[in-house]
Amino acid sequence: MADVEFSVENHVAHVRLNRPQGMNAITGGMDDLLYKAWTTINEDPDIWSVILSAEGEKAFCIGADVSEGPERKTRMALAGGLTGIGGPLVTLKKPMVAAVQGFCVGGGFELAMCADIIVAAENAQFGLPETRHGIIGECGVVHRAVRQLPYHIAMAMILTGERINAATAAQFGLANEVVPLEGLGAAAAEWAAKINKAAPLANQAAKAAVNGRVGYPLEVALMTRFEEIEQYAESEDVKERNAAGAEGRKPVWTGR
């Protein structure tokens, strides 16, 4: 079995960290496999959404595998480039649901925050232990945390290293849903199914627009023209939307 499993079913790509004996800490080899997965997902028009999950009950991911030492360092950012930590950033174009259980800390927390929707098992624990262990670097996880959580909650996590549980994560809007551990996979699949009911290219254009101007003033965002939205306007799915409306039926999306 690979340390990262990849499969596609019903327009949903499944990316699963499969190294539970190491708390799903990400090795250099896993970085390579994750990069291949993100590249395939971005390039395949038949993939409309992604579920990111992890094997085992104890941990979603505890970050990079530090046991590999300095020789692990490459030009690739952590998690196949998705986090942007330690190398170039890879932008995932398709909507992603993260199914999180157990420890989700450090770079693993960063990876979860790269998702668009987070479903957390009741045993999930989110944390930033770096400073408690005397570690801090060009740490993207603190920048994402302070943007996705209230300032004082994020700073308390950063400055103390203390974790928050799934219920608290949901209270502060970090997690979309909290479910029993045994229902985690089904809940993530349900979110992916909801996403895939929408026009896939419209979703991708919406995600690109949001992420492209999320850090800008509203006035700038409103005045921006987005290439992805303009491309969608000329797509086959827009023609299908118009035809379905005229014929009084539900549209059948193709992602073209």
Has residue 139 been placed in a domain? yes
Has residue 252 been placed in a domain? no
- The answer on 186 and 81 residing in a single domain is yes
Domain with 118, as residue range(s), is: 4-197
- The answer on 222 and 102 residing in a single domain is no
Q: Per-residue pLDDT tens for 159-177?
A: 999 999 999 999 999 999 9
Q: What is the model's pLDDT at position 73?
A: 57
Residues designated as active site: 110, 130
Mean pLDDT of the region 60-84? 81
- The answer on 16 and 92 residing in a single domain is yes
* Three-state DSSP class for residue 93: coil
- The answer on 134 and 37 residing in a single domain is yes
Q: What is the model's pLDDT at position 44?
A: 98
Q: What is the model's pLDDT at position 8?
A: 98
Number of domains in the chain: 2
Q: Per-residue pLDDT tens for 110-158?
A: 999 999 999 999 999 999 998 888 877 666 788 899 999 999 999 999 9
- The answer on 53 and 77 residing in a single domain is yes
The enclosing H or E element of 246 equals helix 236-247
Has residue 255 been placed in a domain? no
The structure's pTM equals 0.94
Q: Which of 44, 84, 79, 46 is nearest to 61 (CA)?
A: 79
- The answer on 78 and 163 residing in a single domain is yes
- The answer on 231 and 216 residing in a single domain is yes
CATH number where 74 lies? 3.90.226.10
Q: Last residue of a domain, which of 159, 177, 197?
A: 197
- The answer on 152 and 33 residing in a single domain is yes
Has residue 28 been placed in a domain? yes
The tally of CA atoms less than 13 A away on the side-chain side of residue 226 is 18
- The answer on 219 and 137 residing in a single domain is no
Q: Per-residue pLDDT tens for 187-231?
A: 999 999 999 999 999 999 999 999 999 889 999 999 999 999 999
Question: Whole-angstrom Cα distance, residue 189 to residue 97?
Answer: 9
Cα distances (Å, whole numbers) of residue 170 to 118, 127, 138, 165, 174 = 9, 14, 27, 9, 6
